Amino acid sequence: MTLALSVRDLTLDYGDLKVLKGVTFDVAAGEVLCVIGPSGSGKSTLLRCVAYLEDHFGGAIRVDGELLGRRERGGKVVPVRGAALRKVQGKVGMVFQHFNLWPHMSALRNVMEPLTVVKRMDREAARALAMENLAKVGVADKADAYPPRLSGGQQQRVAIARALAMQPRVMLFDEATSSLDPELVNEVLGVMRQLAEEGMTMLVVTHEMEFAKKVADRVIFMDGGVIAEEGPPAQLFDHPREARTRAFLSLID
Ligand code: ADP
Ligand code: MG
């Protein structure tokens, strides 16, 4: 079995604040792992480390077997920069709560830009791949629209297309539906579900417990910078072992 992602003893401090205190888990190829837990428990920080938006973490993250941002040399671990870093980092796609689209670029340009800048694709190939991915998430007709003219659900689907077009090994979603109006949540969850069914490897931070129950292969409950409990959704939601998992679930239901 190929491990798409392996996280070993991940730690991260912001000054005196210990945010991640030794987080270890694997995600197999094609697996959907949902991460739940209270606000401030370190879920976003975990995803930011895996996307290498944070580089001062301790422990090891491997994507497709390759160490992220580090290299072992003569028994020592040294940082990696430049093309070698981008190669591994490029295997991770991330979708944010607030979409993070460039407002002054059309939807199409938003998806093309990383393809031309990071992957150095020529414009015609980038345009074709971008259109293919906009179509996949159902917003091909919005290719020429600017983000401020799109609904939140459409903007988030463009953001998903932008991440997918980079052909990542793992997709990360950080509360991708939390800033959407309620009537727009399902169009984005639907796209995420479709990706899961197609076999995309996904690490999904979510408050959508129904989504986690139906789509996740496994669920992690984070509390205070550690994994407090982990298991298949049927077990974690219906028969949680830990008192703090039960307390959390009773608050959100
Ligand atoms: P979650 O996503 O589970 O709500 P976060 O990972 O965003 O949690 O945050 C975990 C903790 O780290 C919180 O106490 C938060 O205030 C702190 N934190 C997050 N980002 C920073 C930062 N850039 N500087 C200092 N503290 C931060
Ligand atoms: Mg968060």
- What is the pLDDT, as a whole number, of residue 175? 97
Q: How far is CA 18 from the centre of its chain?
A: 22
Query: What are the b/e assignments for 192-215, b being 16+ CB within 10 Å?
Result: beebbeeebbbbbbbebbebbeeb
Residue pair 107/145 in contact by the 8 Å Cβ criterion: yes
- What is the pLDDT, as a whole number, of residue 107? 98
Helix (H, G, I), strand (E, B) or coil at 132: helix
Which of 13, 44, 54, 207 gets mutated to test ligand 1 (max ligand atoms within 8 A of its CB)? 44
226 — pLDDT class (breaks 50, 70, 90): very high
Distance CA(180)–CA(176), nearest Å, equals 8
39 CB under 6 A from ligand 1?
yes
Residue pair 52/89 in contact by the 8 Å Cβ criterion: yes
253 — pLDDT class (breaks 50, 70, 90): low
Give the chain's mean pLDDT.
Answer: 95
pTM of the model: 0.95
